Amino acid sequence: MSVVGDTLSMLDAAERVSGRINYVLNFELPGMLVGKILRSPFPHARLITIDASRAAGVEGVAAVLTRDDFGAAKPSSGKYGRIFRDQTVVAFEKVRFVGDPVAAVAAANEDIAEEALSLIKTEYEEIAPVFNEEEALKHAAPLVHDPRPEQQPMFGQLIQDLPGGSNVCSHFKLRRGDVEQGFREADLVFEDVFHSPAAQHVPLEPHVTVAQYFQSKLTIWTSTQMPHAIRSQMAELFSLPLARVRVIVETLGGGFGSKGSLRLEPITSFLSLKSNRPVKITLKREEEFVTVCKHPATIRMKTGVTKDGLLVARQVSADFNTGAYSDIGPIVARNGGSAMSGPYRIPHVLIDSRAVWTNVVPAGALRGFGVPQAVWAYESQMDMIAERLGLDPVEFRRKNLLRDGDLFATGEKLEGMHYDELLDRAAASVNWTARDARWREQVANKKGPLCRGKGLALVIKATITPSTSAAVLKLNEDGSLNVLTSSVELGQGAKTVLAQIAAQAMQVPFASVSVSDPDTDLTPYDQQTSSSRTTFSMGGAIGKAAEDLRQQLLEKAAELLEASANDLVLAQGRVEARGSPRRSLSYGEIVLRSSQGNIVGRGAFTTRGGLDLETGQGIGSVHWHQGAIGCEVEVDAETGKVRVLHLTPSVFAGRVVNPRLCELQLEGSAIFGFGQALFEEMVYDEHGQVMNQNLGDYNVPSFDDIPWKLSPWALEHQTSDELHGIGETLLPPVMAAIGNAVYNAVGARIRDLPISAERVLRELARA
């Protein structure tokens, strides 16, 4: 019986097409209030006074939350933050970006809440702000956090604490070989600077949280990818045992990394505590824009090569702008930093990758987690170097590809490398030939404004390591199976894929498997639904739980059938004696006759690893996500407009569990990268205000924009049981592939994303 490998419809497909799928957005409780947030109009200012007395007096207002509700004399400090405690539930002494929450109200309805917000009196004293990551690092730059916020002890092994007095939030270091020696050995050294801007996740479902504090128990229904991390942080804020904080997640309307760290949970929960009523906050789209974004990053990349095209040394200085609050920024800078050598053998590598505090919207995880910024730099530079060496960029890459047995920049030995196949696929997808590498000569020969060009890019990406997932399988008296898991369904099809894995492992029909939604009171621990880890990690946990359950079934069946467990086998929902299938019992019969009600299997899946704080050496990833993009573009040399004609995202997928859901992930990643390549950028004015905080001014790819031909390809090893996550891998290389194709078309090298028509024209004018 095979279920893994089949294209099955999503378990809840009928609910999804009939409008009945239950997002947290729909959730209501009796007596529920509406919460609204007052936000800072200044990028950096001292909050001199805040007076909410008039707001509190409005009829229908049940609670107003300000800094007066927190502090040493109050039950809660109001301070939180996953890595650094640099955030407060509402502003205390300072506001640090335009949109920073200053106060909040809970009221009978939205209109009353809005009126109450307008009655909160505030007085600010502006402080010089700093917006740009490079400006923020200058001596005498205004300090966003002073004194330096306290570090959460559990992150001490991942992120080195630093002295105060600067805007450097974190500093990841990687030291391999002797980079100076490497540059001396190199024939040529290239140095370039690349920039990625802030971008939005834009899950169509906004952040939404319902909180109820009642009888010393806090229950939160929230749009999060990390129910257990939310539980532990809220337990700390409320000084409650973990068991008295319950986090429940319904299906999400997209996440893409935005729904990870604490967002609305603290404000909503404290409003509930204060009003003694359930409270719901739903963000408006313009508020989404000031809640979390992709890290802007400036990356200086210096690469030494030999004349015949061997990479010898690379030095990188990367600054990730983490905005006003660090969120998960230090880990993004670390993950992006450790990826800077790309899928290439480079003996001497030195990387400094910082997260930097500034007075803009806090940046957090976004699909790819720092790697999109890294690939934009290193794959753009690979083509630039190839041209300057007079080499074919495909062959230049091939000379340097990581292969089995090679060491990565982190010093770990790599196995299961598939870059030769992926590079071949990307090149073949655009019919790349040696003629295509004749750069400027080719450009000069083009006639008319419409020029076509080809480009490709590769990616190597870690999955979060170490990590832990746990699963419970509950076998019922009719032989059906409940999978208890805290993996979050955010549209990627996690529930369906996990059901397929469970059905196969237990040899039961797919239709008899049900997968839970996360509920921290009921479902076992999972670190997070992110980092392309669910299929691999939760799938692994389900595999282990199935082993446990099978063993128990065999032992019970052995008693009942008076046989040795070794002589029994599981097949299609039954345990039978090897060779005599008529001596058999259905799972349901075994459960009934075991007098236990259910038979429950448990499993946990843990990976180990970590990088040294001084050298970045160690185990960066339990296995590596590998991908390639090939694309062809048409550039209008008169208008600068870029059209992507054809995009081929290719990924190493190990064994594919559900081919159609896999394709959707590959296409979705590619389209997400396409938007970031060509037009997605949060634009700030000189006062730190986001200028395009709506979907009219900030465009995401529509049907009209996307490439006409999108041909995803998953490299499968069907003989192996190895599962690879594929949810993010193909976003990061899209931007560089398109950038390289634009250069190939018209000779305009774009170093700052997005590749807008204006930038293309500017470069053409310069060329």
Residues lying near another protein in the complex (CB under 8 A) = 7, 9-10, 13-14, 16-23, 25-26, 111, 202-206, 251-254, 256, 284-285, 490-493, 660-661, 663-664, 667-672, 694-696, 700-704, 706, 710
In DSSP terms, 73 is beta-bridged to: none
Distance (Å, rounded) from C-alpha 682 to C-alpha 680? 7
Cβ closest to another protein, residue 601 vs residue 673: 673
Distance (Å, rounded) from C-alpha 365 to C-alpha 294? 7
What is the CB-side half-sphere exposure of residue 572 using CA atoms within 13 A?
Answer: 3
Structure tokens at 704: 């009209």
Largest pairwise CA distance in the chain: 86
Amino acid identity of residue 762, one-letter, is R
At closest approach, how far in Å is the CB of 204 from another protein? 4
The answer to whether the beta carbons of residues 490 and 254 sit under 8 Å apart is yes
At closest approach, how far in Å is the CB of 59 from another protein? 17
**Pick from 266, 256, 251, 291: nearest CA to 26:** 251
At closest approach, how far in Å is the CB of 320 from another protein? 24
Structure tokens at 143: 């300090």
Q: How many residues does this entry show for the chain? A: 767
Residue 618's SS3 state is strand
**CA angle, corner 558, sides to 553 and 563, nearest 5?**
150
Cβ closest to another protein, residue 549 vs residue 666: 666
At closest approach, how far in Å is the CB of 316 from another protein? 30
At closest approach, how far in Å is the CB of 39 from another protein? 16
At closest approach, how far in Å is the CB of 296 from another protein? 21
Cβ closest to another protein, residue 12 vs residue 589: 12
Cβ closest to another protein, residue 445 vs residue 702: 702
Cis status, amide bond into 43, omega within 30 of 0: no
Cβ closest to another protein, residue 143 vs residue 645: 645
Cβ closest to another protein, residue 110 vs residue 638: 110
At closest approach, how far in Å is the CB of 676 from another protein? 12
At closest approach, how far in Å is the CB of 287 from another protein? 10
Q: Which residue has the tokens 């060009």?
A: 453
Q: Residue 321: CB partners within 8 Å, gap ≥ 6? A: 132, 133, 136, 198, 295, 296, 297, 298, 356, 358, 360, 363
Cβ closest to another protein, residue 142 vs residue 659: 659
DSSP secondary structure of 84-134: B--EESS-SSEE-STT-EEEEEEESSHHHHHHHHHT-EEEEEE-----SHH
Cβ closest to another protein, residue 255 vs residue 304: 255
Sheet containing 599-607, strands listed edge to edge, beginning at the edge strand earlier in sequence: 513-515, 481-484, 467-475, 599-607
At closest approach, how far in Å is the CB of 700 from another protein? 6
At closest approach, how far in Å is the CB of 258 from another protein? 11
Cβ closest to another protein, residue 16 vs residue 438: 16
**Pick from 181, 212, 165: nearest CA to 27:** 212
Name the DSSP letter for residue 408.
Answer: P
Cβ closest to another protein, residue 98 vs residue 661: 661
At closest approach, how far in Å is the CB of 496 from another protein? 9
At closest approach, how far in Å is the CB of 384 from another protein? 29
Cβ closest to another protein, residue 28 vs residue 758: 28
Distance (Å, rounded) from C-alpha 248 to C-alpha 245? 10
Distances 82 to 94, 226, 263, 352, 372 between C-alpha atoms, Å: 20, 12, 11, 22, 22
Amino acid identity of residue 708, one-letter, is W
Cβ closest to another protein, residue 25 vs residue 613: 25
Q: Residue 294: CB partners within 8 Å, gap ≥ 6? A: 196, 198, 199, 200, 201, 363, 366, 372, 676
At closest approach, how far in Å is the CB of 288 from another protein? 10
Residue 524's SS3 state is coil
Cβ closest to another protein, residue 230 vs residue 490: 490
| Burial (CB count within 10 angstroms: exposed 0-12, middle 13-18, buried 19+), residue 169 | buried
